[in-house]
Amino acid sequence: MAVLSILTKSVVCFVLSLSYFAFLFWRKRKQCFAYVSCYLFFSVWSYWIHQHNVTTLSGNETALVVRFIAPIYVDGDRVKTVVQWQNERLQLIYRLRTEEEKRQWDELQIGTTCSLQGMLERPSLPTNPYAFNYRRYLFHQRIHWIVRPTSLERCMRANITWMERLQTIRQDGIRYIQNHFPQDAGAFMQALIYGERSDIHPAVLSSYQKLGLIHLLAISGLHMTLLVGGCFYLFIRFGMTRERASTVLLLCIPLYVILAGAAPSVMRAAIMTSCFLLASSRLRTLDALSVSCLLLLVKDPYIIFHLGFQLSFLVCFALIICSPWIQSSRSFVHQLLMTSFVAQVSTLPILLYHFYEISLLSIPLNVIFVPLYTFVILPLSFLALFIHAYVPLVSPLVIYVMTFVIERTNALVVALSDAFILTLGRPPTWLMIAYIIAICVLFLSLEQRRAVTFRFLFAVVIGVHFVLPFFRPNGEVVMLDVGQGDSIYIELPYRKAVYLIDTGGTMSWVDEPWKERKQSFRVGEDVIVPFLKAKGVRTIDALIATHGDFDHIGDAKDVYRAVRIKTLIVGIKKERNDLEQALISQAIKDGARVQVVKSGHRWKVGNAQFYIMSPFGNETTENGRSVVLYAFIGGVYWLFTGDLEEDGEQQLIRTYRSLPVDILKVGHHGSKTSTSELFLKHIRPKVAFISVGRRNRYGHPHREVIDRLSDHNVRIFRTDEHGAVVIRFRERISTIQTFSP
């Protein structure tokens, strides 16, 4: 599938390039020659870079001498940074054992060389549909291995390069803000001055992202223009000539790029600003944008895959192209509104591809927040840092004002983050092309002030995207890889119904405060919700909570926050634990119907049929009370057993004399207390799914269970070895896809 995706993208790029070449050859021969030359150069250059992006390590090395070349991030009991061994970069990840060790890592500086003992491992591949590809992300940074050290010895700092000195100054500046400013205000100061967002609370950062305001927390062109313009004005006021002021700024801009983290948006803004300082009015804005793009691609062809690069250049290009239309309005507010509209619409396909949803409040909120950040929060951040360093007596007043503004702003953003969100899902390739065409037509019609009917093409494409799932004739069942837990997604053809069996759950124990991380991994938030949003799921017809164990429904609240759930299905029982009671209370609060089921409940949707086979109401154990679902989907019989054990299996055998099963979800993650020999003989499955965590402490799935399934010639799929398993069907099953780790 990955090869097919790459091939499709390559074909699309080739067709677009060929079309543009034909257009230029027809209209402008000289531009055609320049384009072909540039295209050939970057094709050869990118190929050469790609061919030389290889590792010289075998993976068996345990002793390395490494140099710390990037900021060292300490989050709770975890350390992450990038180190260099000879000419190769490695991603270092370390689990801290003591608080004293944490202080030692905090004191490490860029440029330090250490002898390291540890293990090398390959970066992980995505094990779920639409999941983040960590291996590819590191590959684009020329990183092929993760090193997990067991000890660090003989550390010394010597032969510091000028780049490392600047990075150290940046690290010291960030620590200065952390130590002297309130946490919330300081986190935003780090983002606006040094381009560092790691200290911003994850919920706040997520809210800015949902509302399309995340660009305000990145150092961009407007940021650089204000900073350079302000410095230029001060230099002139202090008696410098314009030429000397320009020269000083040209020397300082590269230094600030490194201090600001050297993100693609920062480098683009710096190169464009430098072009204007060098060429003055003789250079067009579009030419400066092109120069910056070419220079960055020469420096690193892989930067084209960076989301920040794509968004920064696309927004800048769209604003330049649409500037005559924007500037035609004399109203400042109207210009802001049109600027926000152009920026949001131009990036819509990319945002939908990566984040699957858009906020309808994004455009009006940008009209409010862009001036607020540009003229209030950004100047206050620089002013607060300068005053605290040189006029400390006055700093409390400035810090109070800045903290007040940032806290009120964040409160508003968080409050609005889940309002008017339109989840559309990841668009397929043909729909991405339709979006691009519709956006181009929209901008042309706005600029020429005619062909008003073409403006509706954009709305039509969004409408098609919105209803597309309801026209797909295929259904699917997905056993998601949620580690040591269960979560199964069922979608019927034409999206007649969507069901989710359990939500998984991540147990976390933090016995000491210093170990607590800003953002820990959560199955619900980091696996299930992104999967649902990528599929464009806005409503789940029924969430089936098999039983009250944390590894089955522990992260249900994350799903409740993200999508609307019509019905919560729970099994009949006399007493419920706190987790089940909280889940039922949440369902009632959100307006969902709570349905208590037992053996005998059934329903039908089209050709699909569903039967509740258990519980009966007389079970004595929590696992025995699992909701067991028997279904006829895609022309085959399915049995979803939750954590059913041998006692429950015996009751099913006694109650249902004939129970043909084609696909079995193995009970209790393959524990030896389930999937008995007698049960397998009774149901005679052809395929078995086991949802189980890698290297789990319970030893699941048990060897006896695997042997029993093999003896019955059952084909086994397990999430620890195969990742998520996707079964697609129409009238019958057509494909089975796995996401092997």
Q: Summarize pLDDT for 491-550 with one digit per residue, the tens.
A: 999 999 999 999 998 776 666 788 888 878 889 999 999 999 999 999 999 999 999 999
- Among residues 645, 574, 640, the alpha carbon closest in space to that of 613 is found at 640
- Among residues 511, 514, 508, 509, the alpha carbon closest in space to that of 75 is found at 514
What is the pLDDT averaged over residues 543-567?
93
Q: Which helix (H) or strand (E) holds 119?
A: strand 112-121
pLDDT band at 24 (very low <50, low <70, confident <90, very high): very low
Q: How many Å apart are CA 667 and CA 627, to the nearest integer?
A: 11
Residues with Cβ < 8 Å from 158, sequence gap 6 or more? 111, 113
Cα diameter, the chain: 97
In one letter, which amino acid is 529? V
The string of pLDDT tens digits covering residues 595-623 is 999 999 999 998 999 999 999 988 888 88
CA-to-CA separations, 86 to 52, 56, 83, in angstroms, rounded:
15, 10, 10
Q: How many Å apart are CA 715 and CA 685, to the nearest integer?
A: 9
In one letter, which amino acid is 263? A
pLDDT band at 12 (very low <50, low <70, confident <90, very high): very low
- Predicted pLDDT at 31: 64
Mean pLDDT for the chain? 88
Task: Go through the chain and tell me how many residues it has.
Answer: 741
- Predicted pLDDT at 2: 43
HSE of 9 in the Cβ direction (CA atoms, 13 Å)? 8
| Residue 575 burial by Cβ neighbours in a 10 Å radius (0-12, 13-18, 19+) | exposed
Residues with Cβ < 8 Å from 179, sequence gap 6 or more? none
- Among residues 623, 677, 613, 622, the alpha carbon closest in space to that of 645 is found at 623
Share of the chain above pLDDT 90, in %: 57
Share of the chain above pLDDT 70, in %: 93
- Among residues 116, 58, 54, 114, the alpha carbon closest in space to that of 88 is found at 54
In one letter, which amino acid is 285? T
pLDDT band at 33 (very low <50, low <70, confident <90, very high): low
pLDDT at 443 over 80: yes
SS3 content of the chain, % helix, strand, coil (to 5): 55, 20, 30
What is the pLDDT averaged over residues 242-265?
89
Q: How many Å apart are CA 204 and CA 174, to the nearest integer?
A: 19
- Predicted pLDDT at 5: 45
**Residue 521, phi then psi, degrees to nearest 5:** -70, 130
Residues with Cβ < 8 Å from 156, sequence gap 6 or more? 112, 113, 114
Asked whether 644 and 674 are in contact (CB, 8 A), the reply is yes
- Predicted pLDDT at 118: 92
Helix, strand or coil, per DSSP, at residue 599? coil
- Predicted pLDDT at 1: 44
Q: What angle do CA 92, 97, 101 make, to 5 degrees?
A: 80
pLDDT at 405 over 70: yes
What is the pLDDT averaged over residues 307-333?
86
In one letter, which amino acid is 277? L
pLDDT at 28 over 60: no
The string of pLDDT tens digits covering residues 566-590 is 999 999 988 888 899 999 999 999 8
Name the E strands within 329-430.
357-359, 421-423
Residues with Cβ < 8 Å from 214, sequence gap 6 or more? 205, 208
CA-to-CA separations, 461 to 341, 430, 473, 565, in angstroms, rounded:
17, 11, 20, 27
- Among residues 172, 180, 186, 158, the alpha carbon closest in space to that of 72 is found at 172
What is the pLDDT averaged over residues 265-270?
90
Say which residue the tokens 């030419």 belong to. Answer: 287
- Predicted pLDDT at 412: 94
- Predicted pLDDT at 419: 86
**Residue 79, phi then psi, degrees to nearest 5:** -120, 135
- Predicted pLDDT at 84: 94
Gyration radius of the chain's alpha carbons: 29
Q: Which helix (H) or strand (E) holds 674?
A: none
Q: How many Å apart are CA 466 and CA 469, to the nearest integer?
A: 8
HSE of 251 in the Cβ direction (CA atoms, 13 Å)? 5
| Residue 502 burial by Cβ neighbours in a 10 Å radius (0-12, 13-18, 19+) | buried
CA-to-CA separations, 512 to 96, 101, 377, 429, in angstroms, rounded:
12, 14, 36, 48
**Residue 567, phi then psi, degrees to nearest 5:** -135, 135
- Predicted pLDDT at 453: 63
Q: Regarding predicted confidence, which is higher, 39 or 142?
A: 142
Asked whether 614 and 647 are in contact (CB, 8 A), the reply is no
pLDDT at 35 over 90: no
Sign of CA dihedral 562, 461, 24, 314: negative
pLDDT at 15 over 60: no
Lowest-confidence segment of 97-106, 120-129, 221-230 by average pLDDT: 221-230
Asked whether 321 and 290 are in contact (CB, 8 A), the reply is no
- Predicted pLDDT at 640: 96
| Residue 177 burial by Cβ neighbours in a 10 Å radius (0-12, 13-18, 19+) | buried
The string of pLDDT tens digits covering residues 667-707 is 999 999 899 999 999 999 999 999 999 988 888 999 999 99
pLDDT at 325 over 60: yes
